[in-house]
């Protein structure tokens, strides 16, 4: 079991990750990932295989870098006007995996607004984090959408 200070440090890291997305600071957000980090959104509840089963997103660091570059350049028609988001995290639970790795889970809601349309995404997120000094880096961010097996709009800003 983690002590209170360790729990709070992880919560602060998760809140910072969400704040960077909401502020459009995508390069700083990408810097939170380890070079071998993965961003994953499964396409169905309980999905365990991201390789042999289609996912909504399964992106390693090079693909995330391309995504961030597109968001920064904002040349894509789908990004005009640029979407704005608000991420809300709660019910954060953290457990230690070993001396250098932690796993954190959180309930989340992300509201995305673009061109007079508001969309709401919600579900559970799991973060596998590596301790780096007094901070963390993301090894895996898994976002399980409540309606992952439903019809979804385009997700332009990372959840």
> For 35-83, how does the pLDDT look when each residue is reduced to its tens digit (9 = 90+)?
999 999 999 999 999 999 999 999 999 999 998 988 887 666 566 788 8
pLDDT of residue 156: 82
Domain ranges of the chain: 4-145
The secondary structure of 7-35 as a DSSP string is: HHHHHHHHHHHHHHHHTT-HHHHHTTEEE
pLDDT in tens, 108-152: 999 999 889 999 999 999 999 999 988 999 999 999 999 999 998
pLDDT band at residue 157 using 50, 70 and 90 as cut-offs: confident
Q: Residue 123: how many CA atoms within 13 Å on its side-chain side?
A: 18
- Give the fold, CATH level 3, of 4-145: Nuclear Transport Factor 2; Chain: A, (3.10.450)
- The predicted pLDDT at position 75 comes to 61
């Amino acid at each position: 079991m983690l002590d209170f200070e360790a729990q709070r440090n992880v919560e602060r890291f998760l809140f910072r990750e969400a704040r960077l997305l909401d502020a459009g600071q995508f390069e700083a957000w990408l810097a939170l990932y380890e070079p071998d980090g993965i961003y994953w959104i499964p396409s169905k509840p309980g999905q365990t295989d991201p390789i042999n089963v289609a996912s909504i997103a399964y992106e390693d660091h090079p693909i995330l870098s391309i995504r961030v570059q597109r968001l920064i350049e904002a040349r894509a028609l789908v990004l005009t006007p640029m979407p704005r988001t608000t991420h809300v995290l709660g019910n954060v639970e953290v457990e230690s995996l070993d001396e250098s790795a932690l796993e954190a889970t959180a309930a989340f809601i992300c509201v995305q607004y673009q061109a007079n349309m508001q969309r709401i995404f919600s579900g559970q997120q799991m973060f596998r984090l590596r301790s780096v000094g007094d901070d963390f880096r993301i090894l895996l961010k898994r976002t399980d959408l409540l309606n992952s097996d439903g019809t979804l709009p385009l997700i332009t800003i990372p959840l």
